[in-house]
Amino acid sequence: DAGITQSPRHKVTETGTPVTLRCHQTENHRYMYWYRQDPGHGLRLIHYSYGVKDTDKGEVSDGYSVSRSKTEDFLLTLESATSSQTSVYFCAIRRPSGERYFGPGTRLTVT
């Protein structure tokens, strides 16, 4: 078990407010990822990190920023939330064998 926790697990926020989602891992994996899951789209990569302070964009990065100041924590920030960012957000780490191991998810609703 890679020991990934996400917080909060559920959040309702209003359009235009900033939101930060946290991912915490306990096994010092180098690579961490943020995905969103939406009906009809599967899982799409938002941003990923390949080390402390090293991050890069995924396929749906607009409107999102990330930060990684410690190996164990990867933060996803919505600077000004919009209704199109209502989704389920999953954090993941990359295992040595290559597959992604996912956290339990955060359900975000933007009203």
User: Using CB under 8 A as the criterion, which residues of the chain lie in contact with other proteins when the complex forms?
Assistant: 4, 31, 40-45, 48, 50, 56, 58-59, 90, 92, 98-105
The CB density around residue 69, as the number of other CB atoms within 10 Å, is 10
Q: Which residue is it, tokens 């941003």? A: 47
CB-CB contact of 36 with 19 (8 Å):
no
Closest CB to other proteins among 27 and 79? 27
Shortest reach from residue 82's CB to other proteins, in Å: 22
Identify which of 46, 95, 40 has the alpha carbon closest to the alpha carbon of residue 66.
46
Shortest reach from residue 60's CB to other proteins, in Å: 11
Q: Which residue is it, tokens 């191991």? A: 101
Shortest reach from residue 98's CB to other proteins, in Å: 7
Shortest reach from residue 78's CB to other proteins, in Å: 20
Closest CB to other proteins among 48 and 74? 48
Task: Report the C-alpha gap between 49 and 42 in whole angstroms.
Answer: 21
Closest CB to other proteins among 76 and 79? 76
Can you state the percent helix, strand and coil of the chain, rounding each to 5? 5, 60, 40
Closest CB to other proteins among 1 and 28? 1
